[in-house]
Amino acid sequence: MGSKFFDKLEEWAKENHLKRLELTVEVSNTIAINLYKRQGFVIEGTKKDTMLVDGVFLDEYMMAKIY
């Protein structure tokens, strides 16, 4: 299901002449990270302590895909 969403997103991005798509994802969400990598996104950096979940601060990866 995620792949179909990204197929439509890429189609829309190209139709609208976008150069870059960005997203963030929590670093332990390996299922999502693997999906994003399969779709051509790369990790550009890490945002430290960006989310407070159950009293614990978590990091996020910044990911992007450039056309």
For residue 33, the domain's CATH number is 3.40.630.30
DSSP assignment string, 1-67: -HHHHHHHHHHHHHHTT--EEEEEEETT-HHHHHHHHHTT-EEEEEEEEEEEETTEEEEEEEEEEE-
| Number of domains observed in the structure of the chain | 1
Q: Are 21 and 7 in contact (CB under 8 A)?
A: no
Q: pTM value? A: 0.88
Q: What span, in angstroms and rounded, lies between the C-alpha atoms of 16 and 22? A: 15
How does pLDDT run across 4-58, given as a tens digit for each residue?
999 999 999 999 999 999 999 999 999 999 999 999 999 999 999 999 999 999 9
Q: For residue 12, what are the domain limits?
A: 2-66
How does pLDDT run across 7-21, given as a tens digit for each residue?
999 999 999 999 999
Q: What span, in angstroms and rounded, lies between the C-alpha atoms of 36 and 10? A: 12
